[in-house]
Structure 1
Amino acid sequence: MSELLAPDILMSIITAAMGVATVILLAALGELVTERSGIWNMGVEGAMLFGCLIAYLVMAETGSPVLAAMAAMASGLAAGLLIGVMTVTLRVDHFVTGLGFNLLASGLTLFWFRSYVGGGKPPSYSTINEFPVPLLSEIPVIGPILFDQHLLTYAAFLSVPFIAFFLRRTTYGLETRAAGENPQFLEAKGLSVATRQYSALLFGSALTALGGAFLMMAFADQFRPDISGGRGWLAIVAVIAGNWRPVRTMIAVLIFAFLDSVAVHAQGVGVDIPYQFFLMLPYVASILLLVMIRSRSGQPAKLGVPYLKH
């Protein structure tokens, strides 16, 4: 266990955690906006899995991270549209829809992957490199952690204040929150509740799929079944643990990412503790956070409640 506390290993753990956090944070921010509109999107894991597969296919065929990211986000939009039809238009139970979508995504991605490989060796590609910020990345300790990361990592963390500003200071952001708090108010003003919920779902699912794409582009050069590994569920837990607030959600994500990074490094340095113990740490932490954090003051009043237009 002491091996993990060595200065160079600890630095590597923290630096890697920032990259791992990017995957979960993108999904969590998307889910935060979606839930603020009143939709419990439990299909985050499935949308991330679709993003992983589509990004893999595009990277394997073209080697272009930009095209892979765009294609993955398009798959996220398709996922959000499907979930929106079920939950907003047809008013199917949000939890049933999300769980069903996750099962669909797990089966379809495996089928498409096997069809693409055709029994042969899966193609691989070169993962994307970090983008060190000039001068800032050379600052001792802080530099490698904060300023020697991937471009999407910078974008994900910079998105936190932008999402907070959008939800609190912009007209459309306030209308999105109203859809989750008091949809009758929007209806009385002649505004469409469904439009706000659809747009939140599309945005959230696209961001989630982008997180899946980043996972493939930065950390894996081959697709594996269920490669998202429960990170979509961690994103949902982070939103709840963060009390539906962007900054608190980011803090919860960083906790999960740090524990995930510890698990990876524990296998690498040969700690005398079964590696399965470290792999379960992020998920145990998520359960403990839900148990300890009883406050739900930030939860939208109509979250998960189908809206019936009068």
Structure 2
Amino acid sequence: MTATDVLVGDVSTTRPVRAYRLPIVLASFGVLSLVVFGVLGSAGSTTTFGVSTSTDFFMIDPIRLPSQVTATVLSVLALLLAAYSFLRVRQGLRVGTWVPVVFGVIWVFTFLVWAVTDKSTSLVSLFQGSLLLAVPLAFGALGGLLNERAGVVNIAIEGQLLLGAFGAAVFGSITGNAYLGLVAAPVAGLLIGSLLALFTVKYSVNQIIVGVVLNVFAVGLTSFLFSSVLKENAATLNSPPRLSTLPIPLLSEIPVLGPVLFRQSIIVYLLYIAVAVIAVALFRTRWGLRVRAVGEHPQAADTVGINVNKTRWGNVLLGSAVAGLGGAFFTLGSVGAFGQEMTAGKGYIALAAMILGRWSPVGALGAALLFGFADKLQQVLGVLETPIPNQFMLMLPYVVTIFAVAGLVGRVRGPAAAGEPYVKG
């Protein structure tokens, strides 16, 4: 090694790496917001948001905002955040996660003010619907991260959601009890999970290929049973009761937060519990330490006495049951009957939520809420007949998914051993 090599090496290691992608993205969206929603907005128009329901402790009058002025002020705030992120990067400092989060909230609200100009909508209904639509995505993401934390990539979330929805519909119809149907959903998800574990853990088959095949298997199986069995016996096999709303006393009467968070069905409350339990179990218990060790360094875990493949088996089955539980939302919490391919790709969006959430239960929930909000927003704006083309509104949830994963996540590292079979040598 020459002196020049040493000098170059020293310079390359000490020079701060400045990634201006985030400031550029934020500034671009900030300028777009200022021009389209602010400068070109409708002068003299107002936007009305409802924030109360009839069962709240006290009523809050609808909020009426001057559309153009509000959009302009919010756009300027967004640009200030973009400038702050630029300065942080220029100084070689880390930009906090709160910056893109707050920017996103401001930008979305600015868009909402512009889109609902001269109309009114209920924020409570919007947020409540967003949480509901996020339920299957969150359960799917939690199932996926339980698998990947142990080193198994779970592309089969779509199939687990679909089979969970099917099992919940059939058993709920047979028993006439939505809660028994809810119990059947994770059991149905275990069918896909057991096959996934068998081929990936025991026989070391490529995990991506197995996941795709299992999704196709789930679609084919449920479509065949739907057309040959459920259609002809819809009254007895495909008419499950829906989960009833269970308002929590006092908490459900808090304005805005009460109806959104505490006036839901049991499957939403189970989601709260699942996120808390998995977060604590993964990062605060001996079991979680073992799982993460298996997902990061399986050989090292093996040398200290951890049974790698047994741990992977357990996590694949557990994750599949959690994802299957999310499938019950489609039949017991939303539609009230099973339909062919009714999950409509939600399993893949759940996979994106897991990545966007950086393999964290709380992060996965936050990402699922983002995608659920985009889905609900396109429904609300479609009903309001806004000037946005209907085709774009249908694309909105998927555009948000692509932008969030490609634009915000950037380079992230999942569990190091995810996707790699472990053969004890």
For the superposition of Structure 1 and Structure 2, which TM-score range results when normalised by the shorter chain? over 0.9
Aligned-partner SS, 2:359: coil
Q: Which residue of 2 aligns with 1:179?
A: 294
- Listed one character per residue, the Cα deviations across residues 106-149 of structure 1 (whole Å, up to 9, x for unaligned) are 11100011121355656434322211110111111111111111
Structure with the larger RCO, 1 or 2 (CA within 8 Å, 6+ apart): 1
Letter in 2 for 1:253: A
Pairs within 5 Å for 1:24-35:
24-35=137-148
1:138 aligns with 2:253: yes
Q: CA RMSD in A?
A: 1.8
State the Cα deviation string for residues 55-97 of structure 1 (Å, max 9, x = none).
Answer: 1111222221221122111111121110001111111111100
CA drift at 1:4 = 10
Partners of 2:151 and 2:415 within 8 A in 1: yes
- Of 177, 182, 195 in structure 2, the residue corresponding to residue 69 of structure 1 is 182
- The structure-2 alpha-carbon separation of the partners of 1:134 and 1:106, relative to structure 1 and needing over 3 Å to count, comes to same
Q: Give the Cα–Cα distance (whole angstroms) in 2 for the partners of residues 144 and 80 of structure 1.
A: 35
Determine what percentage of the aligned residue pairs are the same residue.
Answer: 36
**Any idea what SS the aligned residue of 1:227 has?**
coil
Q: How does 1:289-300 map to 2 (within 5 A)?
A: 289-292=404-407, 293-297=409-413, 299-300=414-415
**Aligned counterpart in structure 1 of residue 218 of structure 2, from 93, 105, 110:** 105
| TM-score scaled by length of structure 2 | 0.69
Amino acid at match of 1:295: R
1:2 aligns with 2:132: no
For the pair shown, the structure with the greater C-alpha radius of gyration is 2
Residues 218-243 of structure 1, C-alpha deviation per residue, up to 9 Å, x if partnerless?
10112111101111111110111111
Structure 1 length-normalised TM = 0.93
Give CA-to-partner distance per residue, 1:253-273, whole Å, 9 cap, x none. Answer: 110010111123334444454
Does structure 2 conserve the Cα–Cα contact (< 8 Å) formed by 1:3 and 1:269? no
> Which residue of structure 1 lines up, in the alignment, with residue 203 of structure 2?
90
Q: 1:252 aligns with which of 337, 361, 367?
A: 367
What secondary structure is seen at the aligned counterpart in 1 of 2:190? helix
Q: How does 1:109-258 map to 2 (within 5 A)?
A: 109-119=222-232, 123-258=238-373
Structure 1 match to 2:77:
none
Tell me how far apart the structure 1 counterparts of residues 118 and 353 of structure 2 sit (CA, whole Å): 25
Q: Which residue of 1 aligns with 2:109?
A: none
Q: Residues 19 and 150 of structure 1 are in contact (CA less than 8 Å); yes or no, is this contact kept in structure 2?
A: no
- Structure 1's 261 and 187: CA in aligned 2 closer, same or farther, altered over 3 A? same
2:162 match = 49
Paired amino acid for 1:40? V
Deviates more, 1:81-90 or 1:279-288: 279-288
Distance across 2 between alignment mates of 1:5 and 1:192: 60
For structure 2, the residue ranges without an aligned partner over 5 or more in a row are: 1-114
3-state SS of paired residue (1:280): helix
Change (3 A) 1:223 1:273: farther
AA paired with 1:108?
L
Shift of 1:190: 2.4
CA distance in 2, matches of 1:20, 1:170: 31
Q: Deviations over 1:260-292 (max 9, x none)?
A: 111233344444544442232221111112212
The CA deviation at 1:34 is 0.8
Go from structure 1 to structure 2 and tell me whether the alpha carbon gap of 1:4 and 1:126 turns closer, same or farther (over 3 Å shift): farther
Residue 268 and residue 167 in structure 1: after superposition, are their counterparts in 2 closer, same or farther (change >3 A)? same
Structure 1 118/224 Cα, relative in aligned 2: closer, same or farther at 3 Å? closer
- Structure 1 pair 247–194 and aligned structure 2 pair: CA distance change class (3 A): same
User: How many pairs does the alignment contain?
Assistant: 308
Distance in 2 between residues matched to 1:156 and 1:220, nearest whole Å: 19
Moved more, 203-212 or 19-28: 19-28
Distance in 1 between residues matched to 2:281 and 2:225, nearest whole Å = 37
Q: Does 1:282 align with 2:412?
A: no
Specify the code of the residue in structure 1 equivalent to 2:293. A
What amino acid is aligned across from residue 145 of structure 2 in structure 1?
A: L
The one-letter code matched in structure 1 to 2:364 is T
Matches of 2:280 and 2:239, distance apart in 1: 40
